[in-house]
Amino acid sequence: MEINLRYFWVVILLWFVLRSDNGDHMCVEASHKVYPELQSIQAEIVSPLYRTAYHFQPPKNWINDPNGPMYYNGIYHLFYQYNPYGSAWGNIVWAHSISFDMINWIQLNPAIYPSKPFDVNGCWSGSATILPGNKPVILYTGIDGQKRQVQNIALPNNLSDPYLREWTKPDFNPLIVPTIDQNVTAFRDPTTAWLGQDGYWRVLVGNKRKHRGMAALYKSRDFKHWWKVQHPLHSSADTGMWECPDFYPVALQGEFGLETSVNDVGIKHVLKVSLDNTRYEYYTVGKYFADKDQYVPDNTSADNAMGLRYDYGNFYASKTFFDAGKNRRILWGWANESDTPDDSTAKGWAGIQTIPRKVWLDESGKQLLQWPINEIETLRGKSVQLGTVHLAKGGLVEVKPITAAQADVEVTFHINNLDKAEPFDPTWVDPQQLCGQKGATVQGGFGPFGLLTLASKNLEEYTSVFFRVYKAKDKHMVLMCSDQSSSSLRPEVYKPSFGGFVDVDLTKGMISLRSLIDHSVVESFGAGGKTCITSRVYPSLATNEDAHLFAFNNGTEAVEILKLRAWNMHRPRMN
């Protein structure tokens, strides 16, 4: 409680120091569907029904991609695409918020907006880099007067301002323009730059050639004059446009993060891209050969849309940064709405950022692990705990008393006699499709078992997060699903099933699940963060105090809850 109070009074003080209006600057952003008739409708009344309590969002209006997150002189900065005039995409500026803990946030004036010939038609996504001498800069995509996508730099006006409230775009922009062989409308989202041992800076820009997605590579000695390397750092056939690429090193051992320029023994690299064609992301783990300016993925996962994902649900345009204050790498992702544009206009807001996650390499070296930052636990309030609970076929137990619409729940399940698991069909290669076929009501052997979140009292509505265990030829396969088919009685809401396989050792028969539940979002972490799924849901009955939380088993084989603990979550200071 002392920590919470300290942050509360610091935030209150800074709010009075920094408060000011949002300005009247306008710009646009790429790749998201445009509704011109909606993008400037003022959000006079903001509906609180589905607003989150502890996820990042401004007081009203539309947001999308997280941009340029960084830790600078003890303060966390998050920039993000924002429409100051309405709750549909359009009029986008680089909004700016700061924090001391990534939980409590203070909103500042927008940092970047169209004002120059090189970005007159748009200020799109980008990244932040800390240059030698502790000098932060922003690289971002601008749309120039010829409607070309070009890469620009912005510099802080005053490095002595601890909040970096004002940014300047020098007239020597643009730094990077598309060459004659590049698609000028598919050339965007520069990464955080890294400094090679040869003294040259490098940066990636998302690009495509016909149907091949690629990360175009550029080099510079002075961070002002850039040239294109002949070959992309990496590319993959039939993946379409690569938006929001991200490239960074990870340690082979330990959970600590690495500064983006590190390239030494005992590390691998991660390349993540956001696929404009599918609106999903995938990543690979591999080796970066700096002398050849080439990245080669390991052959442990697919290098295409069926590859590994940070998150198998509603999660896009993600961005990581190195948190030098706590020596960790932090991941931010955007979770868009799943209701209709008219619904977003009526409620006066759209879009949230997921809870920031620490990311590190699994000890297998084959995938990343993700976990909500420890600071989120400062919001935990009263808790409820269950001891060992036997869940036979059809078993259902309510977790109470708990504020089930605003909670953090951790549960560990135990399963015996895995020989009774159903056989796994090797043609099941798409976990999302499999989850759509085998939802929470489809009885299996071991599973479905898990949680019914945001549930109404009589289960007319619920969002289920669950596991199924199968027996393959030489191992057990675990499927994790988030089934939204019963999440709302409203027929117009998009209610998909999301799913991913979980690479977990079941020799001890245990598997864990953590879910962060926040009114219209459920973020779930399976097996300690090996598989993550974010769902946006809009119940009409299971809202606020009428929401319930259950643990369930709909398999023919019994499972046990070894331990379950759930916490009420407090509200932080949010913009």
Give the catalytic positions in this structure. Answer: 65
| Encoded tokens for 538 | 């809009």
Write the CA distances from 482 to 234, 328, 465, 497, 523, integer angstroms: 32, 28, 4, 6, 10
E runs forming strands in 373-504:
380-386, 389-391, 396-398, 406-414, 422-423, 446-455, 463-471, 476-483, 497-502
Which helix H or strand E contains 431, and what residues bound it? helix 431-437
Q: List Cα–Cα distances, 86 to 26, 41, 62, 372, in angstroms.
A: 12, 5, 6, 30
Strands 149-156 and 167-168: antiparallel
Q: For residue 529, which amino acid is it?
A: G
**Nearest Cα residue to 293 out of 195, 214, 176, 202:** 202
Pairing status of strand 61-72 against strand 349-350: parallel
What is the rounded distance in angstroms from the CA atom of residue 224 to the CA atom of residue 206?
Answer: 19
Enclosing H/E stretch for 110: strand 106-112
3-state secondary structure of 10: helix
